[in-house]
Amino acid sequence: MFLELAHAADDQAQLWATEAAKAGIQVPGTYHPDVRTRFVARLIPVFGIAPLRRVLAAMKVRGMTLYNAPVHDAASSVMRTREAHHGKDGGGALRAAVFGVNDGLVSNASLILGVAGASPEPSVILLAGSAGLLAGAFSMAAGEYVSVRAQREYYEYQISLEREELAEYPP
C-alpha cells in the first residue's frame, strides 16, 4: 500500500514539475534523504516501528518545521517551532487596548455632543455621558468575554486533537 502511495506521489510530483516548467518556474532537484533518515529507515525492518516511535515522532516534527520558511537550518527551525507554540503577536493586546479606548472616546463624545445639542441642561448632558460610559464598558466587557471564550474553545479543540494524535501514536 505504501509503495502504491509513493508511486502516486511521484506521478503527482511529475505532473506539478511539468506545469511548473511550462510556467517558467525552476523545479527543485530530486529529494535525497539525509543520513539520519536513511539510518532510521534501515532500523525499522530490524526492530519494528514500536521501539522507534519516539525517533519517528521527533523526525516528523522536525520535518514539518521545514515547511514554515525557506531557511532550513536548525536554529531557524527551533525558532519557528518556539514561535508556533508561544505566539508571535506580542502587540495584539496593546493594539486592542488602543482601539478600545479610541472607539470608546469617539462614541461617548458623539453621544455627549448630540445630547448637548438637543438639551442645554448640564445634568442631562452629565447623565447621558455617564450612561454612555457604562454602556460602552458593558459592551466592551461582553465582547471581550465572548472573544476569550471563543479563543479558549479553539485551544481546547486543538488540545483534543493533540490528545487524539498522542493516543493513536504514543511517544
Q: Say yes or no: 65 and 131 in one domain.
A: no
Structural domain that includes position 50:
33-84
Cβ neighbours of residue 98 closer than 8 Å, sequence gap 6 or more? none
Q: Say yes or no: 126 and 164 in one domain.
A: yes
24 secondary structure, DSSP code: T
Report pTM: 0.38
For 38-95, write each residue's pLDDT tens digit. 888 898 888 888 888 888 777 776 665 555 544 444 444 445 555 554 455 555 677 7
Q: Say yes or no: 74 and 99 in one domain.
A: no
As a whole number of angstroms, the distance between CA 2 and CA 45 comes to: 14
39 secondary structure, DSSP code: H
CB 40 within 8 A of CB 62: no
Q: Say yes or no: 164 and 99 in one domain.
A: yes
**Overall number of domains in the chain:** 2
Q: CA angle at residue 31 from 26 to 37, to 5 degrees? A: 155
Q: Is residue 55 included in any domain, yes or no?
A: yes
Final residue in a domain of this structure, among 66, 84, 102: 84
Q: Say yes or no: 98 and 159 in one domain.
A: yes
For 113-140, write each residue's pLDDT tens digit. 888 888 778 888 889 889 988 888 888 8
